[in-house]
Amino acid sequence: MRTFSTNVQNVLDGETIQFFYLIKLEFSSDYFFTSYNSDIPYDGDTYLSDGGLVEFDSPSLNSVVDREAYKIVIADQVNEMLSEFRLGVVGKVIEVRVGFLDSNGVPMTDPEDVILIYRGFVDSPSVSNDFEQKLAIIEGTSPMSDLDAINDFISSKDGMDQVSATDTSFDSIFKDNEVLIKWGKV
Profile the chain (186 residues) by mean pLDDT over runs of 10 residues.
85 90 94 94 94 79 61 89 92 93 92 90 89 89 60 69 79 67 73
The verdict on residue 160 lying in a domain is no
The verdict on residue 61 lying in a domain is yes
The verdict on residue 89 lying in a domain is yes
The verdict on residue 157 lying in a domain is no
- State the pLDDT at residue 19: 92
Q: What's the structural domain count of the chain?
A: 1
- State the pLDDT at residue 36: 94
Domain that holds residue 64: 6-146
pTM of the predicted protein model: 0.71
**For residues 36 and 107, is the Cβ–Cβ distance under 8 A?**
yes
The verdict on residue 129 lying in a domain is yes
For residues 41 and 78, what is the distance between their CA atoms, to the nearest angstrom? 24
Closest C-alpha among 134, 56, 49 to residue 95: 56
The verdict on residue 173 lying in a domain is no
- State the pLDDT at residue 87: 92
Q: How far, in Å, are 5, 59, 71, 101, 171 from residue 13 at the CA level? A: 12, 20, 29, 13, 63
The verdict on residue 156 lying in a domain is no
For residues 39 and 49, what is the distance between their CA atoms, to the nearest angstrom? 5
- State the pLDDT at residue 64: 56
- State the pLDDT at residue 53: 87
The verdict on residue 73 lying in a domain is yes
